[in-house]
């Protein structure tokens, strides 16, 4: 028998739709439950028999579906969130050519600030053993970067750790690809340089390239930044805001006045001034303390369909694996309760399920260890129409309207068709004024953004720049109770931002 507490779920992005991905690490996925399965369509034979029996049962097609339930936490579900939004989500990479065995301590490589030395006798952190031949040296490099080797044999036995930002693949024709662990533009800034003696041992570029998806982090820390209430702005006499972008979310810290710190959405930006859309509470403050303004990496809804292998392993059984292929995120659901953990689910559709005796991957990247976000501690704010709003409960349901495409002579979907993105949800508040209800009654456009931040300063903001309330009730549910406004909303494309949803991530 197998126990649910011994089930491991892992995923990897597919390169070919519906095909098993081999030779790379899978990402272990945290979950609270799952309902993955193969769907089969069957038809009983219509043949008429004089003994009243059914002649046969014919299978006409198959597919795969099901959900993965989760508790929201920092960095854990970024790839699947991007897939739900169909945002381009590509890891940056670079190719290392190493066709000559390193021979001296002058042979080094630097990746994202981590310096590795090839050494005959390893003496310090990140020293790599020069092997008996080229292949052995290549293997030791892979073992060091990926953390898959033996300390004291492949690399220095001290505190050498896997590289925090990249992984390296196997060498093929003396070439190996280094790939950023996190997708997005930040990966394009990871340095890749070398000091090999052999001139043919070389990186294809001085940094990783090709990262797409989560926008690049922009940070400005200075004692020249002030706040102004007149135009809801932050101002830098040092003109350090040139890299900031309109409609992106920033997180501000360091001001003495609490109202000047927190989440803000950029309205306009110049090198010297950032005006914000939700700056109603900003007060005048001179540029005396050191202030940090961080533009958070973000993703928005797009048109790039991503499919995945989902692999389920029963670790208390021997060599028992399930593989679900061609899995695309059709639905994303989120629930922010008044007094619980923030939960959600990803609902998938795909091609089929297979029972396997081994994994196709080369191993597993460990799951994150970030603490699940809970409303009582980690709910930071909800902005409705750019103003702060106290809430009881918030839900979001995103539907991609995916469909399986079938072709004669092919068992299961040959591809997935993409529909419109539809985002709806609910909002529950204590009834205090007409303001919110009048937006429903008058069919006024508004916006919603819910901000979450854990005790370490990591979090997310889910931004819906254009919504309309589609239902509203001011309910007196019973005696000795509060009057509750129960609202339903639907999101649509914002007229100037040309987006329906944006998710920004705050990294401490």
Where are the domains positioned within the chain? Answer: 4-89+303-506, 93-203, 218-295
The burial class, CB within 10 Å (0-12 / 13-18 / 19+), for 258 is exposed
User: DSSP string spanning 378-389?
Assistant: HEEEEEETTEE-
How far lies 173's CA from each of 19, 95, 138, 362, 427, in Å?
24, 12, 12, 19, 57
The phi-psi region of residue 134 (left if phi > 0; otherwise alpha if psi is between -120 and 50; otherwise beta) is alpha
Which residues lie below 8 Å from residue 151, measured CB to CB, with a gap of 6+?
157, 158, 160
Q: Which CATH architecture has domain 218-295?
A: Beta Barrel (2.40)
Q: Does residue 285 contact residue 217 with C-beta atoms inside 8 Å? A: no
Output the DSSP codes for 392-405: SEEEEEEE---EEE
pLDDT in tens, the chain (508 residues): 899 999 999 999 999 999 999 988 899 999 999 999 999 999 999 999 999 999 999 999 999 999 999 999 999 999 999 999 999 989 999 999 999 999 877 899 999 999 999 999 999 999 999 999 999 999 999 999 998 888 989 999 988 889 999 999 899 999 999 999 889 999 999 999 999 999 999 999 999 999 999 999 999 999 999 999 999 999 999 999 999 999 999 999 999 999 999 999 999 999 999 999 998 889 999 998 999 999 999 999 999 999 999 999 999 999 999 999 999 999 999 999 999 999 999 999 999 999 999 999 988 989 999 999 999 999 999 999 999 999 999 999 999 999 999 999 999 999 999 999 999 999 999 999 999 999 999 999 999 999 999 999 999 999 999 999 999 999 888 889 999 999 999 999 999 999 999 999 999 9
Residue 168: C-alpha distances to residues 60, 95, 111, 234 (Å): 42, 9, 11, 42
Q: By C-alpha distance, which of 304, 313, 317 is closest to 26?
A: 313
User: Which residues make beta-bridge pairs with 475?
Assistant: 484
114 has which bridge partners?
111
Q: Output the pLDDT for position 279.
A: 87
CB 366 within 8 A of CB 452: no
Entry pTM: 0.91
> Nearest Cα to 24, choosing from 114, 97, 91?
91
């Amino acid at each position: 028998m197998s126990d649910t507490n011994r089930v491991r779920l892992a995923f990897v992005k597919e390169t070919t739709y519906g095909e098993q991905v081999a030779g790379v690490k899978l990402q272990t996925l945290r979950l609270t439950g799952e309902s993955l399965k193969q769907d089969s369509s069957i038809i009983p034979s219509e043949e008429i028999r004089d003994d009243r029996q059914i002649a046969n049962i014919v299978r006409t097609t198959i597919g795969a579906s099901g959900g993965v339930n989760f508790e929201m936490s920092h960095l854990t579900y970024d790839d699947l969130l991007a897939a739900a939004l169909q945002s381009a989500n590509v890891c940056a990479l670079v190719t290392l050519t190493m066709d000559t065995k390193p021979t001296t301590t002058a042979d080094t490589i630097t990746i994202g600030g981590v310096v590795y030395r090839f050494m005959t006798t390893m003496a310090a952190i990140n020293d790599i053993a020069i092997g008996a031949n080229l292949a052995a040296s290549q293997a030791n490099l892979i073992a060091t970067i990926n953390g898959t080797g033996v300390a004291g044999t492949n690399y220095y036995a001290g505190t050498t750790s896997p590289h925090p930002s990249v992984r390296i693949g196997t060498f093929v024709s003396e070439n190996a690809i280094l790939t950023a662990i996190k997708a997005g533009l930040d990966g394009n800034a990871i340095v890749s340089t070398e000091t090999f003696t052999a001139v043919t041992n070389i990186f294809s570029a001085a940094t990783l390239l090709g990262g797409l998806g989560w926008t690049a982090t922009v940070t400005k820390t200075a004692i020249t930044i002030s706040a102004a209430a007149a135009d809801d702005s932050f101002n830098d006499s040092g003109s350090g805001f040139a890299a900031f972008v309109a409609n992106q979310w920033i997180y501000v810290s360091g001001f003495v006045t609490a109202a000047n710190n927190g989440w803000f959405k950029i309205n306009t930006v110049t090198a010297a001034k950032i005006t914000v859309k939700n700056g109603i509470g900003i007060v005048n403050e001179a540029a005396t303390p050191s202030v940090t303004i961080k533009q958070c990496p973000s993703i928005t809804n797009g048109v790039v369909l991503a499919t995945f292998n989902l692999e389920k392993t029963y670790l208390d059984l021997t060599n028992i694996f399930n593989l679900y292929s061609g899995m695309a995120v059709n639905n994303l659901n989120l629930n922010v309760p008044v007094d619980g953990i923030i939960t959600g689910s990803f609902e998938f559709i795909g091609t089929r399920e297979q029972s396997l005796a081994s994994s196709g991957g080369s191993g597993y990247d460990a799951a994150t260890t970030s603490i699940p976000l809970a409303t009582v501690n980690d709910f930071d704010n909800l902005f409705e129409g750019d103003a702060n709003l106290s809430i009881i409960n918030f839900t979001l349901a995103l539907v991609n309207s995916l469909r399986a495409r079938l072709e004669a002579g092919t068992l299961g979907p040959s591809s997935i068709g993409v529909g419109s993105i539809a985002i709806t949800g609910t909002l529950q508040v204590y009834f205090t004024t007409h303001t919110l209800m009048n937006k429903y009654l008058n069919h006024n456009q508004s916006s919603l953004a819910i901000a979450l931040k854990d005790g370490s300063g990591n979090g997310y903001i889910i931004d819906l720049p254009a919504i309309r309330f589609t239902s509203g009730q001011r309910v007196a549910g019973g005696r000795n109770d509060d009057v509750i406004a129960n609202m339903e909303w639907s999101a649509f494309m914002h007229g100037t931002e040309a987006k329906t949803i944006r998710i920004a991530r705050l990294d401490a």
